[in-house]
A and B are shown apart, each in its own frame.
Chain A
Amino acid sequence: MPAEPLLTVTDLTVEFDSTDRRRRGQRFRAVDGVSLSLAPGETLGLVGESGSGKSTIGNAVLGLVATGPGSRIVFDGEDITQAPPKRRRALGSRIQVVFQDPYSSLNPSRTIGQTLGEPLRATGVDRRETRSRVADVLSKVDMSPDVAARYPAQFSGGQRQRIAIARALIRDPQLVILDEPTSALDLSVQAQILNLLIALRRDAHLSYLFISHDIDVVRFFSHRMAVLQHGRIVEEGDVDAVIERPREPYTRELLAAVPVADPREQRRRRESRSSVVTGSR
């Protein structure tokens, strides 16, 4: 791994107010002492089931949720844990995000061109330059420049996800948080989007924090991975090491639960699984 990490998260905790009425006033710890680091050009997969806190980690790096005391997030040598709003806005050009739901991630009342060009216009880029950069970024995600004049309603889920990726890339960020970017997509569309993300990573030397519940996708797409459970990292390491030689029981249980697309192998695993899993929940 290169010496200087792009992102270092140390002892991250995030707490929310409990939504359960009987436990009003109590705090619920969504992320609990998570530390991780990400090198330039590297993809780190965060995998876990619902409620494991994986998305909250992404939101904390993006400054969308408040972090608990003692948490430290360092990006490119700068402590951004409590970055003031102005500094945070400036980071928008370097840390970007692609969300899961391609339907609610684009404002339906703004054209694609308005959505993509907005951060440029807001930082004083002129109209003509904005238009040409919008066209550039659209071609990067394999869409024609004339989609800029259209509204999100006219696009399919896969096309919207391309547009969301274009929005993330328009200011040439160094780090992109991918929060379940393909979970809402069909298998064949997922394959296209994964290929696109791999090509973009290679061309622009991007770092990805890849958040997913799908272990197969994480294995295929990431260099390293961290397995999360109840807000804690259970196991972390190179993808091959974690998948081939899991050390923790939870990782083993998770891996055993993923059905493989091979009936013979699946039958074998089903039989061995019953020895791994102790009772049902």
Chain B
Amino acid sequence: MTYSLTPDTNSARPQRVRFLRSLRRHPLGALALGLLLLLAAGAILADLLAPYDPTATDLGNSLSGPTGSHLLGTDALGRDLLSRLLFGARVSLTGTAQAVATVIAVGVPIGLLAGYLGGWVDRVAGGIIDVLLAVPGIVMLLVIVAIFGNNESVAMIALGVLGAPGMARVVRGSTIAVRNELYIKAARVSGLTTRHVLVNHVLPRVSGPIVVRASLFAGVALLVETGLGFLGFGAQPPDPSWGNMVADASQFVAIAPWMLVPSGATIALSILSFGLLGDAIRDSTAGRARGADRVRRKVAGDAKEPAATPAQPATETPDDSDALLRVRGLTVSVPAATGQADIISDVTLEIRAGETVGLVGESGCGKSMTGRAILGLLPQPVAVTGGRILFDGQDITKLGPRQLQRLRGAQIALISQEPVASLDPVFTVGHQLKEVLLRHQPGSRREIARAAVALLRDVNLREPERVMRSYPHQLSGGMAQRVAIAMALAGRPRLLVADEPTTALDVTVQAEILGLLRRLQRQTGMAVLIISHDWGVIADVCERAYVMYAGQVVEQAPVLDLFDGPRHPYSAGLLGCMPGRAARGDLLPAIGGRVPQPGSWPTGCHFSPRCPIARDDCTRDPVALNETAAGHASRCLYPLLVDEKVFSHDAR
């Protein structure tokens, strides 16, 4: 069975188009770019645009403000300021461009090579960079100008060389980040030359920081250029430059203040524009890195109106009032462009006190979101839009933030996949553990410390006193997960939600953590909800399990029944995908196709497009969870028989 693999339709556009579009979202940046382009055009076309020769004097009209014949006024010799500004732009912008070109030409290769090659190249480049950074720039420039006479190009190129270390550092840093990407390794393995890899793979990835840096540097260069002009270097009177125009104006500032405005304002606006442009580019390149954000928006964009009648009664397993946790018809949604998109739909489950229950499924099926909802920890803007979550008779969905906080920790606790991330890196384990303990029980400092050590000993940490003094980064993954479990247990919770608790751990450590959870569960009598994608973990610790697919519970059963005779084709298919259950030399009975995205679920059975035994009526109406045996239910119109094989061995 071959199936077509079609890419997602909401495509990410090529970068150039995205950049121009993102510039539109930064009106100031666009304005700055426009102004700079206008100035550049003015400089290039000065011969055509300037109304007068820039050195032509008109002594009858000296020191005038803006008039009809001199739009920006005149200077002391009656020269037209607009014309001088346009011709002066040639000098000032050329100087700026020379400096920027030098910064790029010198700084980028040094940074690229130092970052990519590392080793001695990096050390030599680092030395050069440090020496150059120690050179006092302005003094150096004045010396250079003095030696080379009034050659402004030399001064600006020197400025570029002095600015190159800053550029090289930025490029080196970005290059090091990119160098470790796997696609760079793959390109090297492909037999591409270092030059090819640098130019085609690394350079495009670091171009954002380069452009930002160059733009900001252009502002500096323009400032220095006009500063040198002001001091009498560079273009010599009567030829105009922006700098000597300011110098001219400063002599008459008491009697003709206007004369300072055209040149001063142009310089200020240009420098501001370079800065704003740099910011805009930085923002737009940063936005590009936020991939996850885009995914979320994409989900929202794809959403359809919620089905009109989602409220068909979920198979109310007889409302067994002694269950500690009862989730009834839970629906969780994200707001979307058109209405809302469900990410969990009509989930009903329950956990009795002291019971260990599994929630199994693949990524995107909603199992973690279900766990989050039970803890009242749904991330914004995700929200419960239907159903109830009853913990000990109390509806969690109706609690306020303060009540929820009291419930969490004391009644319901969480351990997650990344134990190190769940600990605060700046405090010791002991500090954090004691803080949690204090919240749950009063006691003297010594009593609390003793309780903390006892808890750490409880989770089989060998040297609890040493662990108390450790910072999270000093712990191995297995130790950190034990600490996280100890912290979860500090409030003596009645329900522990374990979200992929062993996924990031090695198998031998996993076995220990699972053994620990099992022992603690027995000792404390707490209920445990284990969320996992791993059938082995479910088989190891759970009594009952719920299988989720595309936001729904598709099957629930005691684990023995589930593994012996899954009644839903998805459960059977997912079990069949396990290489551990397959014969070697054969192909796996894989499920073809992909899990549909939230918001694009089929109307009928969510699994029907991938189900080998789906019939017409499977796609017509939502399918309810039907009990097939005591405690065993399947959301399937044609539940499988025991040992029924429905998946072919050639899906790939």
Contacts and interface: CB of A to CB of B under 8 A. Distances in A.
Interface in B184-208: 185-194, 196, 200-201, 204-205
Interface stretch (B8-16, B147-155, B214-222): B8-16
B590 interface: yes
A245 to B, nearest CB: 16
A126 interface: no
A263 B557 CA distance: 13
A254 B507 contact: yes
Contact of B588 (A147, A171, A195): A195
Interface string A138-164: 000011100100110111101100101
Interface in A224-276: 239-240, 253-254, 256-264, 266, 270, 273
B382 interface: no
A261 B478 contact: no
A64 B594 CA distance: 34
Contacts of B509: 281
Contacts of A60: none
A95 interface: yes
Interface string A182-199: 000011111111111011
Given A119-B190, A220-B582, A257 B652 contact: no
Contacts of B6: 144
A98 to B, nearest CB: 9
B7 interface: yes
Given A159-B7, A194-B588, A97 B186 contact: yes
Interface residues of A, number: 84
Given A153-B12, A216-B580, A280 B191 contact: no
Contacts of B578: 187, 216, 261
Nearest to A155: B7
A257 B539 contact: no
Contacts of A278: none
A18 interface: no
A187 B533 contact: yes
A110 B193 CA distance: 17
A144 B62 CA distance: 74
Contacts of A104: 181-183
A91 interface: yes
Interface size range on B against A: 35 or more
A220 B583 CA distance: 7
B485 to A, nearest CB: 14
Contact of A221 (B181, B460, B579, B652): B579
A215 B574 contact: no
Contacts of A281: 478, 508-509, 512
Contacts of A253: 508
A187 B576 CA distance: 10
Interface string A99-126: 1010011110110000100110011000
B429 interface: no
B586 to A, nearest CB: 9
Given A106-B183, A188-B574, A217 B511 contact: no
A240 B2 CA distance: 31
B540 A266 contact: yes
A221 B585 CA distance: 8
Given A110-B200, A264-B560, 4 more contacts: A107-B204, A155-B8, A171-B190, A220-B579
CB-CB nearest 5 A-B residue pairs: A92-B191, A259-B536, A216-B580, A220-B579, A191-B590
